[in-house]
């Protein structure tokens, strides 16, 4: 009966007025109470009490947009509706990762106790995927401060270890035991960075001498092996936002000049032959030669791969050498298995010359997500690249889709 009973109330306004009353002044001036309820009575048909929402199970068509453009937090949007579903708390150069077990969102975070002064605090945070409540906070002895990287916090395939890249300034990896919820160990990783977990619960990383280092984590002291050199880390670097399929351990690496190198991760990674995006598109191979214009891959996150079909989506622009962060004029779609161009899509309107990040959903009916770094994230039809949704004020950073 209470919910629908007509009861007489005054609102909180009356309470806050109390000090004024107590001063004994009756000044005849209208009070807020008068407007809240001039009759002193309020009907409460159904008083709404505050509540807190929970998140649905993460969907393939959800895109996670990292902070940036003056906004904190990683916002989660439903690509089908364009609506925000929630936010994972993140700041500054914090890193984000999915949990292969699907229970947590992981954040590697660095804060100072007084923002621009005080004590530095490096932690690995685990947020529950449903309640978005902080369920675990594990101190770590440091981490690398850099934004917009997808491979500085990675989780091993079994979901039991978190690997957090560090440089102070010598290069290492801090390992967190996610079962015991403690810092586990530090692995020295001289000259290498950009970690890709393999299915053996170890990981590989790209190195400054053009090799791939592979770290075996079998309980004992980690063993590091290195591949033969296969790329040029200073003349034609591989974008460190290149893509891994965590289920198969297949890497799709893309270089500044437009070389794609497929790698099958494992105890001894199989590094495939490189092929040229431009040649696949019936054009002259990209070079890293001064004063030579060509179509080039570019952006902060220039490549996305739909793993089930092997389709590769690349942000492409016309540019010279060292134009690796230029926004895209076209999106190229290629078959990663046959190395053939499927389609070039010229970007028009507000998409033209703006997009710097791209991702794709991993379901059978994929959507492409792309953002301009100025707060706008777009949902594009994966066949036509037609704009389906625009999410404003979405953040400015890296895009993530869940690997189902």
Residues making contact with a second copy (CB under 8 A): 16-20, 22-23, 25, 27-32, 34-35, 69-71, 89, 91, 111, 113-118, 121, 134, 169-171, 190-191, 207-211, 226, 228-229, 232-235
Smallest gap, in angstroms, from Cβ of residue 340 to other proteins?
Answer: 27
| Per CB under 8 A, 42 contacts other proteins | yes
Q: Can you read off the two tokens belonging to residue 332?
A: 């190229």
Of 79, 57, 108, 72, the C-alpha closest to 371 is: 79
Q: Which is nearer to other proteins, 11 or 273 (CB)?
A: 11
The answer to whether residue 233 forms part of the interface with other proteins (CB under 8 A) is: yes
Q: In the range 114-133, which residues lie near other proteins by CB under 8 A?
A: 115-118, 120, 127, 130-133
Q: Which residues neighbour 153 within 8 Å (Cβ) at sequence distance 6 or greater?
A: 95, 96, 97, 106, 107, 108, 124, 162, 163, 164, 165
Contact between 22 and other proteins by CB under 8 A: the answer reads yes
Of 170, 338, 343, 383, the one binding other proteins (CB under 8 A) is 170
Cβ–Cβ < 8 Å for 277, 296 = no
Residue 7's binding partner among a second copy, other proteins, none (Cβ under 5 to 8 angstroms by kind) is other proteins
Partner in contact with 220, chosen from a second copy, other proteins, none, beta carbon below 5 to 8 Å by kind: none
Cβ neighbors of 382 (< 8 A, separation 6 or more) are 306, 311, 313, 360, 361, 366, 367, 368
Question: Is 287 within 8 Å of 257 (Cβ atoms)?
Answer: yes
Nearest to 216 by CA among 168, 156, 166, 151: 156
Question: Which CB, 91 or 267, lies closer to a second copy?
Answer: 91
325 binds other proteins, rule: CB under 8 A: yes
- According to CB under 8 A, which one of 14, 216, 224, 281 is a site residue for other proteins? 14
Residues 257-296 that bind other proteins (CB under 8 A): 290-291
The one of a second copy, other proteins, none whose footprint includes residue 232, by CB under 5 to 8 A per kind, is a second copy
Q: Alpha carbon 389 to chain centroid distance?
A: 19
State which residue, 52 or 228, has the beta carbon closest to a second copy. Answer: 228
Find out whether 401 and 70 touch, Cβ atoms under 8 Å.
no
Judged by CB, which is closer to a second copy: 229, or 353? 229
Residue 360 CB, shortest distance to a second copy, in Å, is: 29
| Cα–Cα dist 319/51, whole Å | 52
Q: 39-44 — which CB contacts under 8 Å span 24+ positions?
A: 40/8, 40/10, 41/8, 41/9, 42/7, 42/8, 42/9, 42/10, 42/11, 43/6, 43/7, 44/3, 44/4, 44/5, 44/6, 44/7, 44/9
Residue from 60, 100, 147, 404 touching other proteins (CB under 8 A): that is 147
CB distance 3 to 47 below 8 Å: yes
- Cα→Cα distances 196→78, 140, 145, 256, 334, Å: 27, 20, 19, 19, 23
Q: Which is nearer to a second copy, 214 or 362 (CB)?
A: 214
Residue 365 as a binder of other proteins (CB under 8 A): the answer is: no
Q: Which of 4, 208, 248, 337 binds other proteins (CB under 8 A)?
A: 208
Pick from other proteins, a second copy, none: which does 294 bind, CB < 5 to 8 A by kind? none
Choose among a second copy, other proteins, none what residue 55 binds, the Cβ cut-off being 5 to 8 Å by kind: other proteins
Q: Give the one entry of a second copy, other proteins, none that residue 42 binds, where binding means its C-beta sits below a cut-off of 5 to 8 angstroms depending on kind.
A: other proteins
């Amino acid at each position: 009966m209470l919910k629908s009973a007509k009861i007489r109330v005054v609102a909180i306004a009356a309470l806050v007025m109390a000090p004024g009353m107590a001063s004994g002044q009756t000044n005849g001036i209208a009070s807020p109470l008068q407007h809240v309820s001039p009759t002193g009575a309020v009907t409460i048909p159904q008083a709404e009490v505050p509540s807190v929402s929970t998140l649905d199970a993460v969907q393939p068509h959800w895109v996670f947009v990292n902070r940036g453009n003056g906004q904190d937090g990683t916002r989660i949007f439903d690509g089908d509706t364009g609506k925000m579903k929630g936010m994972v708390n993140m700041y500054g150069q914090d890193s984000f990762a999915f949990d292969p077990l699907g229970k947590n969102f992981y954040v590697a975070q660095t804060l100072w106790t007084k923002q621009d002064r005080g004590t530095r605090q490096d932690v690995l945070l685990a947020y529950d995927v449903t309640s978005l409540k902080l369920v675990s906070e594990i101190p770590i002895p440091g981490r690398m401060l850099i934004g917009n990287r997808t491979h500085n916090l990675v989780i091993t395939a079994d979901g039991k270890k978190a690997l957090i890249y560090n440089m102070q300034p010598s290069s290492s990896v801090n390992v967190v035991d996610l079962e015991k919820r403690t810092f586990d160990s530090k692995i020295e990783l001289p000259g290498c960075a950009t970690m890709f977990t393999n299915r053996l619960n170890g990981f590989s990383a790209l190195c400054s001498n053009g090799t791939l280092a592979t770290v075996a984590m079998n309980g004992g002291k980690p063993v590091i092996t290195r591949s033969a050199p296969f790329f040029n880390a200073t003349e034609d670097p591989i974008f460190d936002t290149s893509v891994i399929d965590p289920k198969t351990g297949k890497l799709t690496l893309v270089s500044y000049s437009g070389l794609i190198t497929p790698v099958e991760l494992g105890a001894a990674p199989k590094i495939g032959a490189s092929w040229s995006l431009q040649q696949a598109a019936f054009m002259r191979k990209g070079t890293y030669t001064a004063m030579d214009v060509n179509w080039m891959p570019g952006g902060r996150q220039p490549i996305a791969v739909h793993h089930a079909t092997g389709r590769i989506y690349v942000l492409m622009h016309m540019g010279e050498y060292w134009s690796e962060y230029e926004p895209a004029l076209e999106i190229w779609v290629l078959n990663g298995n046959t190395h053939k161009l499927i389609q070039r899509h010229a970007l028009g309107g507000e998409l033209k010359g703006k997009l710097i990040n791209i991702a794709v959903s991993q379901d059978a009916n994929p959507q492409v997500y792309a953002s301009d770094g100025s707060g706008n994230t777009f949902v594009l039809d994966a066949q036509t690249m037609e704009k389906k949704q625009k999410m404003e004020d979405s953040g400015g950073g890296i895009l993530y889709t869940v690997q189902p």
